[in-house]
Amino acid sequence: MKHIRRPAHQRSRDPGRLAFLLLVVAVMLGLSGGTSTAAADDMAEPTRSTVTVPARAMDAVAAMQPGWNLGNTLDAIPDEDSWGNGQTTKATFEKIAADGFRSVRIPVTWSDHQSATAPYTIDATYMVRVQQFVNWAQDSGLYVVLNVHHDSWQWVSKITSDHDNVMARFDSTWKQIAAVFRDEPRSLLFEGINEPQFENATEAEKTKYLNELQVSFHSIVRSSGGANTNRILSLTTPFGSGDQAYLDELYKTITSLNDRQLMAQVHYYSWYPFSVNVAGGTHYDDVAQKDLEDSFAAMHRTFVAKGVPLYIGEYGLLEYPNHFRPSRVERGEALKYYEHVGYGARRYGITTALWDPFAYLNRDSLEWRDPALMAWIKSAWTTRSGTASFDKAFVPKSGPITDKSLTLNLNGTKFQGVWQGSTKLAAGRDYTVSGTKLTFTAKALTRLVGDRSYGVNSTLRARFTSGLPWNIDIVTNDVPVLSDATGTADAFTVPTRYRGNDLATMHATYADGTNAGPTDWTPFQEFNKAFSPDYPNGTIILTPEFLETLRDGEPATLVFHFYSGSTVTYHVTKSGGSITGTTS
């Protein structure tokens, strides 16, 4: 995955271990002189890993579940701390292991630490730093997946026009990595290339080039000797895609190598409209759930059922959570996704690794930014949790209070009741259950909304026989009120009284029915790309990216959808560099 940036901060670089640095320098010199194997034989004592690795790749990969990614770190460009995560310490890996993770994927971008011309020598200091990470992780009892990461789009993608140089650099890169790590225990795995892509390539060419890269990677590592002769190697698909045609081609490559120490890798970021909140994908609905079920079933059918382990080397939602921008995915809907991933991994025998650029673990404090979210992710490793059709019940302020219902998603559990704090609500009086329909009575809601101020008035917890309780916010709201405004194509905001509402999406069209906005294949524009709520300042931001696509002099009709079910229509017209907004 490409990076998600956050505000940068800097810390001084760890100087590393001088003795090992000198040894790596010797290895690099040996490689340039064609004596890489001899140099590698003189390497320092390999890591004393505390991990006992099963002989079968299927069992070893299963033992790696669950996994975590040290994202935006050694894969950052140009340096480790360029994307805001500072300098990693051993404590980072100790924290991950202590919290139940069994493996860590360490993405590494080598480009800026490697000569761009033959013999493509990797900087010895950088190699020491990579080795330090691998040692720390294994010392913490973790399996490690080490790869070639953003190089995939920086230079490997140019194989279509610069084939020989790209292959020479790719082969040299892996010869150096294989030499340095040849005697590391099998708890270290190698991943040939992350999310490979090829400029201006047909599907047939993608298959050809990727097969060439992966076969070469396999040959180089296996011929390098030491523990590399039976180290588990990870092969992947174009872009890490789970499309069936790509899975089939990957299976062909793996079987052609006749090597039982291989695993297949893909990445999974959910059904795209839900993952980024575009095209109306505001809920983890039947379509999004089916996407996961179909994808995991295909992975199992193509690989796991045939004895090839499957590793989802990255999973999550795209730019969620992002603690520096409004959340594009509604929290409860996100929790359903993470719960489903954990269940799907167990059901289909797949090992997963959470992609964490900075969003989950605070790399400074080594505390989870959102402990409740992590509790859901961890719980899903072993059990199912019940949920509901939404995590809020909306009570309009402007009218009489009436009963409100949600649908329970039992997920194989049994409903046990509803609590407010330590107090259990009374079944029959405060709520009723008919099948999977949970209804809160008007009498209970009257008590729960209190003075009926806009927003969350109280929070309830629905409990089930296993897993975590499902939070239900009782929210007082009314239809939002938008106001007329003027501005420019560089800065325009819609004055908004949210009145207890959260913005879900924006539908944008012209009078002739065509779509308005940069995402022209759907009227529902992408959250935080075309529009974004600014709750503290009482506005909705229309981004310059959205405004610059508007037709000059032609009004666009915007319909703002809120999670309460309310909708508000608004009109914007661009005239040169000026923008005028009016209510319906």
Active site residues: 195, 314
No. of H helices and E strands in the chain? 15, 28
What is d(CA 437, CA 150) in angstroms, rounded to the nearest whole number? 48
Angle (nearest 5°) at CA 527 between 525 and 531: 75
User: What DSSP string describes 250-309?
Assistant: HHHHHHHHT-SSEEEEEEE---HHHHHT-TT--S--HHHHHHHHHHHHHHHHHTGGGT--
Tell me the two tokens of residue 396: 């309009």
The residues, ordered by sequence, that sit 6+ positions from 387 with a Cβ below 8 Å of its Cβ are 332, 335, 336, 339, 408, 409, 411, 470
What is d(CA 154, CA 195) in angstroms, rounded to the nearest whole number? 12
What is d(CA 364, CA 92) in angstroms, rounded to the nearest whole number? 9
Between 203-223 and 244-257, two packed helices, what is the crossing angle to 10 degrees?
A: 30
- Helix, strand, coil % in the chain, rounded to nearest 5: 35, 25, 40
What is d(CA 166, CA 216) in angstroms, rounded to the nearest whole number? 12
What is d(CA 28, CA 120) in angstroms, rounded to the nearest whole number? 10
In contact, 197 and 9? CB cutoff 8 Å = no
Distances (CA, A) of 428 to 276, 425, 434: 40, 9, 11
What is d(CA 372, CA 431) in angstroms, rounded to the nearest whole number? 26
